[in-house]
């Protein structure tokens, strides 16, 4: 199995990694962060600390919090349809949020929203866009020239195809196999970008290469680029659906690359809505849901009965999952 994503340092300076941002982009972000606004809206100091800051993911990706609406008290306020900011005691707010999460009363969580700027490889964007509960606006390669940014896996994430899971990885490649795969990925990315620029009849500075030659339309030239090309988009989503995204994509069974983004989103959630984040960990991410048959088996086990798969009513796979969940395997 591939290792879990390493924790991300959310305090990394915006211009620390030039692979992620140009000097102009970093300067724009610093200028935006320097602006201070007065407001009557709910403000979360821990989230304000990282507002607009690129939180690094993978080798060249990032997540930036652009805007947000609501906080933990807003969830409570919506649940009670109150005129104020909820209760004055955090313990009361925590109890209500736990109740809402435990019983899957989702509409109060939908009252909070967040807008993110995300830079990610196209093959991860294809997984990400499956979550159809957000508003998305992506960088247009029909209008603009894509930058030379390609995801290259770290050696510890170059793994062979699993023989038991058609959409998973097995052991990490080592030695010549790893070096060969990595070298070919890097060479293909460079060659593809050279072809892309050549078809556009442009160089890396955006200047015309050959004045006597017409460049291919950008909307056509982009088709030569591989799926590890980085794209960017703005992604706005409510808290309920962000929690659902995180439950699926921060799971150990998710692909490493999208899991790396989900881990950063968990840190954002912890800063933004700490009470909802704790409830989410307890009742969703670190919790479990049992089928009726599995619950019946568990009740029999608690009564001291010896239960085997053949007469449990569970399929062999369901039985293995239950054994693993109960740490009985």
- Please spell the DSSP secondary structure of 233-249, one letter per residue: EEEEEEHHHHHHHHHHH
Give the model's pLDDT for residue 296.
Answer: 95
HSE-CB of 272 using CA atoms within 13 angstroms: 28
Q: What is the pTM of this model?
A: 0.89
Q: Are 86 and 247 in contact (CB under 8 A)?
A: no
Give the model's pLDDT for residue 105.
Answer: 96
Q: Are 26 and 8 in contact (CB under 8 A)?
A: no
Q: Which helix (H) or strand (E) holds 117?
A: strand 113-121
Separation of CA 73 from chain center: 25
Catalytic residues: 249
**CATH annotation of 1-151+228-287:** 3.30.1360.170
pLDDT digits over 206-233, tens only?
Answer: 899 999 999 999 999 999 999 999 999 9
- How large a percentage of the chain has pLDDT more than 70? 93
Where does the pLDDT of residue 17 fall: very low under 50, low under 70, confident under 90, or very high at 90 and above?
A: low
Give me the residue spans of the domains in the chain. Answer: 1-151+228-287, 155-227, 292-325
Give the model's pLDDT for residue 306.
Answer: 93
Give the model's pLDDT for residue 312.
Answer: 93
pLDDT digits over 186-202, tens only?
Answer: 999 999 999 999 999 99
Q: Are 269 and 276 in contact (CB under 8 A)?
A: yes
Where does the pLDDT of residue 87 fall: very low under 50, low under 70, confident under 90, or very high at 90 and above?
A: low
Reading the block at residue 66, the tokens are 């652009």
Q: Are 17 and 56 in contact (CB under 8 A)?
A: yes
Reading the block at residue 231, the tokens are 């794209």
- Cβ count within 10 A of residue 70: 23
Give the model's pLDDT for residue 164.
Answer: 80
Q: Are 32 and 117 in contact (CB under 8 A)?
A: no
Q: Are 244 and 252 in contact (CB under 8 A)?
A: no
What would the mean pLDDT of 173-183 be, rounded to a whole number?
Answer: 92
Q: Could you tell me how many residues make up the chain?
A: 329
Going by C-alpha positions, the residue among 297, 1, 320 that lies closest to residue 160 is 1
Going by C-alpha positions, the residue among 260, 287, 266 that lies closest to residue 2 is 260
Going by C-alpha positions, the residue among 174, 223, 171 that lies closest to residue 196 is 223
Confidence check: pLDDT of 268 > 90: yes
- How large a percentage of the chain has pLDDT more than 90? 80
In degrees and rounded to multiples of 5, residue 176 shows phi and psi of: -60, -35
């Amino acid at each position: 199995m591939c290792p879990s994503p390493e924790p991300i340092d959310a305090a990394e300076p915006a211009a620390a990694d030039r692979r992620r941002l140009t000097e102009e982009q970093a300067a724009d972000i610093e200028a935006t962060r320097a602006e201070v606004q007065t407001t009557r809206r709910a403000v979360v100091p821990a989230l304000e600390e990282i507002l607009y800051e690129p939180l690094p993911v993978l080798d060249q990706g990032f997540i930036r919090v652009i805007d947000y609406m609501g906080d933990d008290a807003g969830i409570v306020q919506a649940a009670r349809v109150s005129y104020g900011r909820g209760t004055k005691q955090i313990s009361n707010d925590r109890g209500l949020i736990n109740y809402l999460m435990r019983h899957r009363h989702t509409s109060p969580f939908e009252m909070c929203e967040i807008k993110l700027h995300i830079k990610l490889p196209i093959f991860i964007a294809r997984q990400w866009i499956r979550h159809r509960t957000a508003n998305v606006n992506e960088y247009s390669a029909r209008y603009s020239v894509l930058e030379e940014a390609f995801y290259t896996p770290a050696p510890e994430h170059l793994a062979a195809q699993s023989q038991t899971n058609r959409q998973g990885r097995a052991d990490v490649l080592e030695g010549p196999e790893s070096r060969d795969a990595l070298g070919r990925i890097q060479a293909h990315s460079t060659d593809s970008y050279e072809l892309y620029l050549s078809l556009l009849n442009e160089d890396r500075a955006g200047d015309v290469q050959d004045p006597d030659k017409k460049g291919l339309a950008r909307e056509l030239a982009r088709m030569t680029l591989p799926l590890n090309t980085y794209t960017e988009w703005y992604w706005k989503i409510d808290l309920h659906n962000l929690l659902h995204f995180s439950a699926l994509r921060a799971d150990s069974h998710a692909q490493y690359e999208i899991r790396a983004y989900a881990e950063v989103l968990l840190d954002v959630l912890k800063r933004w809505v700490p009470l909802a984040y704790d409830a989410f960990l307890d009742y969703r991410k670190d919790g479990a849901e049992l089928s009726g048959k599995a619950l019946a088996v568990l009740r029999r086990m608690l009564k001291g009965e010896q239960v085997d798969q053949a007469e449990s009513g569970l399929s062999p796979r369901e039985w293995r999952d239950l054994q693993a969940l109960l740490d009985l395997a």
